[in-house]
Amino acid sequence: MLLIITGKSDGTIDALVDHLDYPFFRLNLDDFLQYSFVFSNEDWSITNPVGLTITSKTATSCFWWKAFMYQVNSDKYVNDELKIIAETIYSWFVTRGKVKGNPPYLESSWGKFRQADIASKYLDVPTQKVGWGSDFLESFEEGIEWVAKSLSGTLINSEKALFTTEVNPAELDSKFPWYIQKKIVSDVDITILAMGTTLYAFEKSRSDLSGIDWRQEQFRSQTRWNPIALTDSESSAILAFLSEMGIQWGRMDFLRQGDTLQFLELNPNGQWVFLDPQNEHGLLSAVAAYLKASS
Amino acid sequence: MSKKLTPADLAAKPDFFEPVFAEFDYLDQKNLATSPLMTGMGTPTFNGTQTFDFNGRPSDSDQDNDRSS
């Protein structure tokens, strides 16, 4: 039985469960009081309000999906205790090699620049730097277009976000930390979901973007993501990159520039349902099959 | 000398949809909603990679944000 550790209002898991044709158990961490939960060093069991149960004897694999993204509990003590409990049960699967997908906080342990460094062995990666101070901001070559991005994605003034924005480094305030990348001019966004050694690639035209970051306009845009075939060399390069990163699951973002894929980043727990929300291209079915592999 | 730009000067308001909290069906282990999309793709939003959750954290991540371009 597959254990999914997530949140009660998670739409990705809502969409996914319709395609799971094998036993699974959904633990909504932010709804913990609805479950009975017993965990010891010998065994464990979790039962939901209608009597569905998963135990250390029936569990075969675990998929962590954004359980910490939801406010687990308003009481900080309870919140922090539950998070460690969730990590404890996840670790039970990790030590047995029964995890599908990636653990939380994986990217934090990598850093964007380790990604970029490894990716550059196999893929085209735009120049990028992070820093502050006048020396840093004066280090950017003139005549090249640059964009500023956010590493954390944290909201500014509680309501605004720094999306990818074209900047002139000389005009930036040196007292702030900046993540700056060479601007890639492209007509097409490419995003690829990796599952094992299979890559599911989609593209989206940038023709209707008013800015340069599709996420800023994602709910207004009528442009859809369409599946595409990668070339053999593109697939080989991406799989080599993933192999060196040591992961089998994740979503990568690229920009198509002529015949070249420009690597932007790997999101080990990135969203993917938006690529095919109705399973018209079989993405939900493919994820369900991938998660089943060791069930 | 003109004022230098800060992150706040460059920031924009993200797209946002009001969440729809539906009843959770513990037998089917999913939310009961008129459309499954209405409960969002990771957070209670519609059709896409919700950019930020209610606590101001990037929802496309567990400490894992993504940005294009």
The verdict on A18 and A84 lying in the same domain is yes
A160 and B39 within 8 Å at the Cβ level: the answer is no
pLDDT at B42: 33
* φ/ψ (deg, to 5) at A20: -90, 110
The verdict on A172 and A190 lying in the same domain is no
Report d(CA A210, CA A70) in Å as an integer.
31
Q: What residues of chain B lie within 8 A of the CB of A158, using their CB?
A: 56
The verdict on A53 and A14 lying in the same domain is yes
The verdict on A116 and A199 lying in the same domain is yes
* Best residue of A252, A271, A275, A280 to probe chain B, by most B CBs closer than 10 Å: A271
Query: Bridge-partner residues for A262, per DSSP?
Result: A124, A255
Closest Cβ–Cβ partner in B12, B41, B46 for A271: B41
Q: Read off the pLDDT of residues A116-139 as tens digits, 9 standing for 90 and up.
A: 999 999 999 999 999 999 999 999
A161 and B17 within 8 Å at the Cβ level: the answer is no
pLDDT at A152: 76
The residue whose two tokens read 């964007």 is: A112
A216 and B67 within 8 Å at the Cβ level: the answer is no
The verdict on A210 and A261 lying in the same domain is yes
Query: Does a structural domain hold residue A78?
Result: yes
Range of the domain at A172: 128-182
Looking at the predicted structure, is the pLDDT value of residue B50 above 60?
no
The verdict on A252 and A118 lying in the same domain is yes
Q: Read off the pLDDT of residues A181-216 as tens digits, 9 standing for 90 and up.
A: 999 888 899 999 999 999 999 999 887 666 666 555
Amino acid at position A110, single letter? W
pLDDT, average across residues B24-52 = 54
Q: Which chain B residue shows the shortest CA-CA distance from A103? A: B62
Q: Look at strands B30-32 and B23-25 and give their pairing.
A: antiparallel
Q: What residues of chain A lie within 8 A of the CB of B67, using their CB?
A: 149-150, 153, 163-164, 213, 215, 253, 264-265
| Cα within 13 Å of Cα(A51), Cβ side | 0
The verdict on A146 and A247 lying in the same domain is no
The residue whose two tokens read 């282990």 is: B29
Query: Does a structural domain hold residue A146?
Result: yes
Q: Which chain A residue shows the shortest CA-CA distance from B31? A: A14
- What is the pTM assigned to this prediction? 0.84
How many helices (H) and strands (E) chain B has is answered by 1, 2
* Best residue of A264, A274, A275 to probe chain B, by most B CBs closer than 10 Å: A274
Q: What residues of chain B lie within 8 A of the CB of A215, using their CB?
A: 14, 49, 51, 66-68
The verdict on A196 and A177 lying in the same domain is no
Report d(CA A48, CA A25) in Å as an integer.
9
A176 and B47 within 8 Å at the Cβ level: the answer is no
Q: Of A146, A166, A182, which residue is a domain's last?
A: A182
Amino acid at position A219, single letter? F
The verdict on A68 and A145 lying in the same domain is no
pLDDT at B58: 40
Query: Does a structural domain hold residue A37?
Result: yes
Q: What is the domain count for chain A?
A: 3
ipTM score of complex: 0.84
Q: What is the mean pLDDT of chain B?
A: 57
Report d(CA A122, CA A223) in Å as an integer.
30
The verdict on A95 and A206 lying in the same domain is no
Closest Cβ–Cβ partner in B10, B37, B49 for A215: B49
Query: Does a structural domain hold residue A288?
Result: no
Q: Which chain A residue shows the shortest CA-CA distance from B33? A: A14
pLDDT at B15: 62
Of A290, A288, A294, A228, whose CA–CA distance to A18 is shortest? A288
Confidence of residue B38 (pLDDT cuts 50, 70, 90): very low
Q: Which tokens go with A198? A: 């299979």
Query: Does a structural domain hold residue A209?
Result: yes
B44 and A9 within 8 Å at the Cβ level: the answer is yes
C-alpha distances in Å from residue A39, one per residue of A32, A43, A47, A58, A220:
14, 6, 12, 14, 46
Q: pLDDT digit of tens for each residue in chain A (295 aa)?
A: 999 999 888 888 988 999 999 999 999 998 999 999 999 988 999 999 999 999 999 999 999 998 887 777 778 898 889 989 999 999 999 999 999 998 887 777 777 888 999 999 999 999 999 999 999 999 998 899 999 988 877 777 767 788 888 999 999 999 999 999 999 888 899 999 999 999 999 999 887 666 666 555 555 556 788 999 999 999 999 999 999 999 999 999 999 988 899 999 898 888 888 888 889 999 999 999 999 866 4
The verdict on A191 and A250 lying in the same domain is yes
